[in-house]
Amino acid sequence: MHTCYYSGERTEVPVVVLVVEGGYTTLLTAFKAIDTETPVLVMAGSGQAADFIAKAYEKHETATNLAKKTTSKTNFKWYSSCLRT
């Protein structure tokens, strides 16, 4: 949500950043939006910055899912006990 003032009254307005193609400035805008918890919608396949963000997200999700599958409770218990000593 974004706060704006209309006729002296404070109003909350829903905001989303749409990334279609784009360049360096688009990347900066998208990253700033993410930092401020503004939703970012990326049109994968539209080119340049949009494809870069989409590919990075895809690789992040793949790595996260792989880490979840390969981390067993036994490994976690071992790691936790090492941290305590």
Nearest Cα to Cα of residue 45 among 58, 36, 54: 54
Instruction: Dump pLDDT digits (tens) for 14-71.
Output: 899 999 999 999 999 999 998 988 999 999 999 999 999 999 999 888 887 777 776 5
pTM: 0.66
Task: Extract long-range pairs of 42-47: CB within 8 Å, 24+ residues apart.
Answer: 43/18, 43/19, 46/20, 46/21, 47/21
Q: What is the pLDDT of residue 80?
A: 46
pLDDT band at 85 (very low <50, low <70, confident <90, very high): very low
CB 23 within 8 A of CB 48: yes
In contact, 19 and 53? CB cutoff 8 Å: yes
Where do the structural domains in the chain lie, given as residue ranges? 2-84
Residue with tokens 């790595």: 63
